[in-house]
Amino acid sequence: MTLPPGDEDLIRVASLARARAYAPYSKYKVGAAIRTKRNKIHSGANVENVSYGLTVCAERCAAFAAIASGETKDWDAIAVVIDDDKLPSPCGACRQVLAEFSPELRVVLATAGGLRKVTTLAELLPDAFLPDRLLR
Ligand code: THU
């Protein structure tokens, strides 16, 4: 599948982040990178913990990095990269956190070996519970 160059750039940044994942327990390293409307890229990797439950996924690390940089909405795309024979699939918690900030987000799923799939957060999390239910 041929993707626009911007998506491949985002995948490259996510792959670099993946190299910095801390995943000694699962050995399942994930990298993520978010491109904002201002064309800035914020990346993250999964960070595990010996107590297991404190683990944070790559997607949420990237989201929190974007937010901490002051970019809190209308992100263009997120790329998620693993090194496996099948594509990654963001967990439910990450889908909900991403939807808080960018329910229309483009989601680019990739493997180090070259598998690619483009979808949207709206497709991954239909009928999402969004801030407009409470913020009015
Ligand atoms: N993980 C992510 O970082 N992103 C996903 O999309 C799924 C799961 C991490 C959490 C944990 O460190 C490891 O992958 C195995 O679940």
Q: Which CATH number applies to 5-124: 3.40.140.10, 3.40.47.10, 3.40.1010.10, 1.10.645.10?
A: 3.40.140.10
Interatomic CA distance for residues 47 and 51, integer angstroms:
12
Residue 133 exposed, middle or buried by CB count within 10 Å (0-12, 13-18, 19+): exposed
Q: Which of 18, 22, 26, 46 to mutate to test the pocket of ligand 1 (most atoms within 8 A of CB)?
A: 46
Q: How remote is the CA of residue 135 from the centroid of ligand 1, in Å?
A: 30
Q: What is the pLDDT confidence band of residue 3, given thresholds at 50, 70 and 90?
A: confident
Bigger pLDDT: 136 vs 79: 79
Domain positions in the chain = 5-124
- Give the model's pLDDT for residue 74: 82
Q: Are 31 and 10 in contact (CB under 8 A)?
A: no
90 Rama class: left (phi>0) / alpha (psi -120 to 50) / beta: beta
Reply yes or no on whether 59 is catalytic: yes
pLDDT tens track for 32-78:
999 999 999 999 999 999 999 999 999 999 999 999 999 998 899 99
User: How many residues make up the chain in this entry?
Assistant: 136
